[in-house]
């Protein structure tokens, strides 16, 4: 089985974006604020949006299952207040849940949290509880910068985030550390802000003793870990200067990297530098990079091609494709075993 741990609902029916625009307009003019019940998307519309997009490509590329969360750039936690974020998160999470019910063999949901700048993360707990207990979510996406590129939240090691971590440990679910849209003109959303955040999140963990407080807490750093694997000597050296344990002892029981690196040399280096047990297959299909690479003639986000071509043995490839995901996402593993998979 090939499990893609990084999928977003980037092809949701147009009605979702129309409703969101009305919600944003309603922030300034409350009389225009739509009710959640005014968004009507049929099962047939959901099927069409999935069958002609994500599911079609999964079949073409030989992928079996995707951990599926709301579109990352649409989270936009910096827009409006907590109530705006709460309503928007609930809508987006329900759509991913409905997709998982329509295509139970191919999609498993992961939760978007209703974060809002300056608002206590404890306010996210009810939505997280609902998503895990009612929707069967196996993970969550945690935005370390709800401000949208201005970085005014405490680092991930701060006790500010502990209510979410406590719930993650209770449910035994990981978090993908994933920012959303940048509203800071210095940082392009997918070309800078995403990769900056990946690197920043890792460094925040490196500097801290977070995993002493939460030894079973698990973070997935997407997009190949930002700059981390490609400057591994720098991070090893910084840990040494800070008198931290070796990275393999200090972080790699808790921090994992995905394969959303859209060229062969990047995947090759990732597989050489990072232990195979810390690499999870992912594609972020129909996401930030959707074009055809003129050097290869294939889609940039067809990451399975890169893993197949990497100089690793079949057993290591199996761990990247399936075994590591089952270990890092225990609720996924339990669900698959219940289905005899």
Tens of pLDDT, residues 65-81? 999 999 999 999 999 99
Give yes or no for a contact between 323 and 256, defined as CB atoms under 8 angstroms apart: no
User: Token pair 């935005």 is at which residue?
Assistant: 143
Per-residue pLDDT reduced to its tens digit, 193-239 = 999 999 999 999 999 999 999 999 999 999 999 999 999 999 999 99
Percent of the chain's residues with pLDDT above 90: 96
Work out the average pLDDT over 117-127: 97
Going by the DSSP 8-state scheme, the letter that residue 320 receives in this structure is I
Q: According to the model, what pLDDT value does residue 249 have?
A: 77
Give yes or no for a contact between 58 and 1, defined as CB atoms under 8 angstroms apart: no
Q: Is the pLDDT of residue 258 over 80?
A: yes
Per-residue pLDDT reduced to its tens digit, 72-105 = 999 999 999 999 999 999 999 999 999 999 999 9
Per-residue pLDDT reduced to its tens digit, 147-164 = 999 999 999 999 999 999
169: Cα within 13 Å, side-chain hemisphere: 14
Q: Which residues contact 41 (CB under 8 A, 6 or more apart)?
A: 12, 13, 15, 16, 95
User: Token pair 């999470």 is at which residue?
Assistant: 93
Q: Is the pLDDT of residue 113 over 90?
A: yes
Going by the DSSP 8-state scheme, the letter that residue 154 receives in this structure is P
| Catalytically annotated residues | 284
Q: How would DSSP label each residue in 186-247? A: TS-IIIIIHHHHHHHHHHHHHHS-HHHH-TT--EEE-GGGTTTGGGHHHHHHHHHHTTPPPH
Count the helix, strand and coil residues of the chain and give each as a percent rounded to the nearest 5: 50, 10, 40
- Structure pTM? 0.96
Q: According to the model, what pLDDT value does residue 246 have?
A: 84
Q: According to the model, what pLDDT value does residue 234 have?
A: 95
Mean pLDDT of the chain: 96
236: Cα within 13 Å, side-chain hemisphere: 10
Q: Which residues contact 72 (CB under 8 A, 6 or more apart)?
A: 8, 141, 178, 179, 180, 287
Confidence of residue 298 (pLDDT cuts 50, 70, 90): very high
Q: Which of 87, 67, 68, 85 is nearest to 76 (CA)?
A: 85
Q: How many residues are present in the chain?
A: 341
132 CB burial (10 A radius; 0-12, 13-18, 19+): buried
Q: According to the model, what pLDDT value does residue 17 have?
A: 97
Give yes or no for a contact between 316 and 276, defined as CB atoms under 8 angstroms apart: yes
Give yes or no for a contact between 5 and 260, defined as CB atoms under 8 angstroms apart: no
Per-residue pLDDT reduced to its tens digit, 174-201 = 999 999 999 999 999 999 999 999 999 9
Q: Is the pLDDT of residue 42 over 80?
A: yes
How far apart CA 212 and CA 208 sit, in angstroms, is: 9
255, two tokens: 């921090």
Work out the average pLDDT over 31-41: 95
Q: According to the model, what pLDDT value does residue 245 have?
A: 86
The Cα-based distances of 113 to 61, 72, 177, 216, 341 in angstroms read 30, 11, 12, 21, 29
Q: Is the pLDDT of residue 126 over 90?
A: yes
Q: According to the model, what pLDDT value does residue 186 have?
A: 94
Q: Write the Ramachandran bin of 96: left for phi over 0, alpha for psi from -120 to 50, otherwise beta.
A: alpha
Give yes or no for a contact between 96 and 164, defined as CB atoms under 8 angstroms apart: no
125: Cα within 13 Å, side-chain hemisphere: 15
Tell me which H or E stretch contains 68: strand 65-70
Q: According to the model, what pLDDT value does residue 227 have?
A: 95
Phi, psi (degrees; rounded to nearest 5) at 109: -80, 150
């Amino acid at each position: 089985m090939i499990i893609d741990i990084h999928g977003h609902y980037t092809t949701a029916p147009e009605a979702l974006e129309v409703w969101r625009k009305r919600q944003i307009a309603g922030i300034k003019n409350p009389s225009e604020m739509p009710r959640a019940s005014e968004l009507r998307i049929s099962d047939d519309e959901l099927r069409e949006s999935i069958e002609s997009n994500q599911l079609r490509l999964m079949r073409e590329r030989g992928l079996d299952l995707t951990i599926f969360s709301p579109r990352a750039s649409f989270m936009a936690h910096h827009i409006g207040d907590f109530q705006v974020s709460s309503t928007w998160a609930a809508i987006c999470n329900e759509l991913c849940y409905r997709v998982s019910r329509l295509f139970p063999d191919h999609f498993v949901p992961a939760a978007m949290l209703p974060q809002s700048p300056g608002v206590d993360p404890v306010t996210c707990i009810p939505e997280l509880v609902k998503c895990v207990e009612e929707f069967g979510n196996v993970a969550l996406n945690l935005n370390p910068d709800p401000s949208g590129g201005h970085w005014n939240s405490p680092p991930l090691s701060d006790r500010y985030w502990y209510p979410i971590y406590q719930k993650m440990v209770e449910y035994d679910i990981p978090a993908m550390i994933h920012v959303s849209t940048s509203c800071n003109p210095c940082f392009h959303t997918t070309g800078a802000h995403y990769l900056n955040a990946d690197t920043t999140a890792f460094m925040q963990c490196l500097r801290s003793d977070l995993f002493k407080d939460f030894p079973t807490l698990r973070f997935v750093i997407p997009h190949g870990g930002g700059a981390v694997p490609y400057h591994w000597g720098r991070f090893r050296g910084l840990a040494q200067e800070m008198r931290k344990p070796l990275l393999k002892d200090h972080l790699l029981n808790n921090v994992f990297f995905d394969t959303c690196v859209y060229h062969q040399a990047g995947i090759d280096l990732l597989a050489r530098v990072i232990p195979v047990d810390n690499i999870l297959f992912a594609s972020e299909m129909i996401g930030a990079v959707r074009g055809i690479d003129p050097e290869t003639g294939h889609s940039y986000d067809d990451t399975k091609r890169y893993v197949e071509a990497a100089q690793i043995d079949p057993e290591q490839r199996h761990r990247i494709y399936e075994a590591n995901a089952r270990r890092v996402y225990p609720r996924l593993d339990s669900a698959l075993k219940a289905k005899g998979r």
